[in-house]
Chain A
Amino acid sequence: MSVKQISIFIENKKGSLAEVTEFIAKSNINLKALSIADTQDFGILRIITDNPDKARDILKSEGYTVTATSVLAVALTDSPGSMAAILGVLSKADVSVEYTYAFMSNVEGRAYMIFRVDNNDKASKALVDAGISVINQQNIF
């Protein structure tokens, strides 16, 4: 029950982000969420799209360094404490969080968070058992 996130390796240089997002737009791919990890030399652009396979393939054929990662999309109520609750569950289940980022949904009062964890199955089970919704690809859009 995971979502396919596409990561793109880009130069930490003026214009690289604009260049890749322009390319994604031109290819008619809709971005739902994104985050960037940056270092002095490079950035890792992580995107959630409506068509991750298409995104990966066209980016790769355009010469980009790309990879697909299975991440979890978790639904939370748009109120204080929801994120802490999720992290509490994961921690108790001994799941490591590599990174996370959030985005709003179309539904009022609801937000999503993307998690990359060290064990998707363990994490999914713990969250579902705690009554937290883990969303799959189609239901984000």
Chain B
Amino acid sequence: MGNYYQKELETMPVEKIRELQGELLVKQVKNVYENVAYYRNLMDKKGVKPEDIKSVDDLHKLPFLTKADLREAYPYGLMARPLSDCVRIQSTSGTTGKRVVAFYTQHDIDIWEDCCARAIMAVGGTKDDVCQVCYGYGLFTGGAGLNGGSHKVGCLTLPMSSGNTERQIQFMVDLQSTIICCTPSYAAYIGETLKEMGYTTDDISLKAGIFGAEAWTEEMRRDIEKSLGIKAYDIYGLTELAGPGVSFECEEQKGMHINEDHYIAEIIDPDTGEVLPEGSVGELVLTSVDKEAFPLLRYRTRDICVLSRKKCSCGRTFVKMTKPMGRSDDMLIIRGVNVFPSQIETVLLEQGYTPNYRIEVDRENNSDTLDVYVELSSENFSDTVKEIAEKEKQLAAAVKTMLGINPKMHLVPPKSITRSEGKAVRVVDKRKLY
């Protein structure tokens, strides 16, 4: 059976989950209606009143929230508590205009950290463990979340953040870390650097790793397990709903348990918004039933997955979600940064180019690469290589300012982008993440 942080909650009977969710939902909807004008307007437009929501069965009546709503309401428009009640913000990676700022009361921090603690104990963590947290610390929720969870479990917490890999490994060897938390691509990089430094898995004591914040495949899992000598577990979350820990993998390593005492999960058809039955592939929608400062109802995650209530050998009764299988929008995550192809289009238009482009994303040496091919039309064509190279440099700088990451720009003739049949392919992701 499992190693639980909050056994009673994690193993409660399914009927009790629904009952608890229902009670909390009713309170939350009243709270949001009264305190969040933005969402109250959405409810009024849809003709839904708080009294109409009596249980989880009525959830579908509520309007959705999307990233566009968050952008429109930025920064304070979705808060349900005054600023003075808030003790922290966390923010997503991404550029100005697309940044999400989430607010937390102390209570919100506590339940978030509880969720992360559950994740750590689910992989066998206890207060006797040494937990090395190599997610970025700061605005990013990765470091903050797992740091808090590790403290709650009582592990010796190493707040390493990411980077400085030789030092990471030195500490790993000297302090005999037993659990590691970071992105899967960083874990792969650590595995390689370990070898380069002349160490083997015999020199370290890692037993488990909790990896997330980006998509990763079963193949990557096996590679990491081999190179670090551990069992590698998945974790999922989004800043909008607190951070990592919305769901977490247990010892079965087959899907992640959603913390249903804090979140209600639905799967919808991304085109129609219709709620789909258990087992269907669709977009994950999450409702926070007990966050105070920034409670989102029916937030569309854009992640495609499947939910299942099949009995889990770990004993937890929380519904399981598969690893995300794709996105219902065109967002890419490149080097940990959220990138929308439309942002590149905006830059091209601003710089006076026709937005005929192709984005190619690949992975070299565990690091994501971004190549952008842009059509050079006669209007912008200069007769020397030097002038074209200069234009590429200018474009790269403009794209870097917009996205926050460095692209490699290639100005190319029209024929290498537009192909005669149908729509031009704008994004080629060679990383095979799904």
Task: For the complex, count residues of A whose C-beta is within 8 A of B.
Answer: 23
Majority secondary structure of chain B interface residues (helix, strand, loop or mixed): mixed
Partner of A60, one of B378, B413, B415: B378
Minimum Cβ distance to chain B for residue A32 (Å)? 17
Counting CB contacts under 8 A, is A7 at the interface? yes
Interface residues of B in 384-419 (CB under 8 A from A): 384-385, 388-389, 410-416
A60 cross-chain contacts in B, Cβ below 8 A: 378
- One digit per residue, 1 when the CB lies within 8 angstroms of any chain B CB and 0 when it does not, for chain A 56-87 equals 00001001111101000000000000000000
Is there a chain A Cβ closer than 8 Å to B6's Cβ?
no
Interfacial residues of chain A within 84-108, with CB under 8 A of chain B in the complex:
98-99
**B199 in the interface (beta carbon within 8 A):** no
- Binary flags per residue of B353-396, CB closer than 8 Å to A gives 1, else 0: 00000000000000000000001111001111100110000000
Give bound CA distance, A42 to B416, whole Å: 10
Q: Taking each of B382, B383, B411, B412, which has the highest tally of chain A beta carbons within 10 Å of its own beta carbon?
A: B383
Contact B413 A7 (CB under 8 A): no
Please measure, in the bound complex, the distance between the C-alpha atom of A46 and the C-alpha atom of B411, giving whole angstroms.
Answer: 18
Q: A9-B413, A11-B413, A63-B415 are in contact. Are A44 and B378 (CB under 8 A)?
A: no
CB-based nearest A residue for B385: A37
A81 to chain B, nearest CB (A): 28
Q: A16 to chain B: which residues have CB within 8 Å?
A: 413, 415
Given A67-B383, A69-B383, is A41 in contact with B412 using a C-beta cutoff of 8 Å?
yes
Kindly identify which residue among A5, A46, A65 contacts B378, using a CB–CB cutoff of 8 Å: A65
- What is the interface of chain A mostly: helix, strand, loop, or mixed? strand
B381 touches A46 (CB 8 A): no
Docked complex Cα distance between A42 and B410 (Å): 9
Pick the residue among B378, B382, B384, B413 that contacts A42 (CB under 8 A): B413
Residues of B within 8 A of A65 (CB): 375-378, 381, 413-414
Are B381 and A11 interface neighbours, CB within 8 A?
Answer: no
- A40 closest partner in B (C-beta): B410
Contacts A41-B410, A60-B378, A65-B376: A11 and B416 contacting too (C-beta < 8 A)? Answer: yes
Nearest CB on B from A110, distance (A): 26
- Give residues of chain A (19-33) contacting chain B, Cβ–Cβ below 8 Å: none
- Give the distance to chain A from B187, nearest Cβ to Cβ, in Å: 33
A63 touches B378 (CB 8 A): no
Is A126's CB within 8 Å of the partner chain B?
no
Contact A11 B383 (CB under 8 A): no
- Which B-chain residue is minimally distant from A7 (CB atoms)? B383
Q: Which residue of B lies closest to A99 (CB)?
A: B384
| A48 interface residue (CB < 8 Å to B) | no
Contact A44 B413 (CB under 8 A): no
The CA-CA distance from A39 to B410 in the complex, in Å, is 11
Chain A residues, CB < 8 A from B382: 67
Chain B residue at minimum C-beta to C-beta distance from A69: B383
A11 proximity list for chain B (CB < 8 A)? 412-413, 415-416
CB distance from B9 to the nearest CB of A (A): 57
- When distances are taken between beta carbons in the complex, the residues of chain A under 8 Å from B383 are 5, 7, 44, 46, 67, 69, 116
Q: Is A127 in the interface zone, CB < 8 Å from B?
A: no
Question: Which residues on B are within 8 Å of A, measured CB to CB?
Answer: 375-378, 381-385, 388-389, 410-416
Q: Name 15 extra pairs, CB < 8 A, besides A37-B384, A64-B414, A67-B383.
A: A5-B383, A9-B413, A37-B385, A41-B412, A42-B388, A42-B411, A42-B412, A44-B383, A60-B378, A64-B413, A65-B378, A65-B381, A65-B413, A65-B414, A116-B383
Give 6 nearest A-B pairs by CB, closest first.
A7-B383, A67-B381, A69-B383, A9-B413, A11-B416, A65-B381
